[in-house]
Amino acid sequence: MTHTTLSSNSSRTRQLALAGVFTALAIVGSFLSFPVAGSKCAPVQHIINILAAVTLGPWYSVGIAFCASLLRNLLGLGSMMAFPGSMVGALCCGLVYSICHKLSLTCLAEALGTGILGGLAAYPVAVYIMGITPAGIFVYVVPFLISTIAGSILAFLLITALNKGGVMAMIKTTR
């Protein structure tokens, strides 16, 4: 094996390990949730979405959101709303960060992606998968916005502090 292959494998191993840690933090963080209009609002998931977008990229961010949603549902800690609520925001913030590398826009993309697009995507999940009839197509937008705005602000503060301490530079070297 060449040195490039070894460092590539080492980098991939670190990325997967970090993805596993982020997934575990998202699941444990779901204990810090509050109910709003039939959905569980968990701001920690949004913090993880943004951390993953910044450190690992959009596809890892979506994968982490999916795995965390699946495991929360299997463990009885979440609802089916976790899938559109977390995955759409993870994709949006991941793509925005990969294009512009601006934390503020990444946090805004998480909030709008989860709050508006994820909130709208939750409606068919409620109707066709969960068998409930929400009051309207926009019923999940406000609760999702509440959760994601809180998580996005916390993520901005956390990543800003980690940047100042030099921690983010160490984490980003895994990419």
- Report the CATH number that the domain containing residue 20 is assigned in CATH: 1.10.1760.20
Quick one: tokens of 79? 């609802």
Q: What average pLDDT score do residues 118-145 get?
A: 92
As a whole-number percent, the residues of the chain with pLDDT over 90 amount to: 69
Into how many domains does the chain fold? 1
Provide the domain limits for residue 137: 3-30+37-172
pTM across the whole model: 0.89
Q: How far is the CA of 172 from the CAs of 46, 54, 127, 156, 158, in angstroms?
A: 19, 8, 40, 16, 15
Q: What average pLDDT score do residues 107-134 get?
A: 94
Confidence at residue 77, expressed as pLDDT on a 0 to 100 scale: 85
Mean pLDDT for the chain overall: 90
Instruction: Give the tens place of pLDDT for each residue, 59-117.
Output: 999 999 999 999 999 999 888 988 998 999 999 999 999 999 999 999 999 999 999 99
Is the CB of residue 69 less than 8 Å from the CB of residue 82?
yes
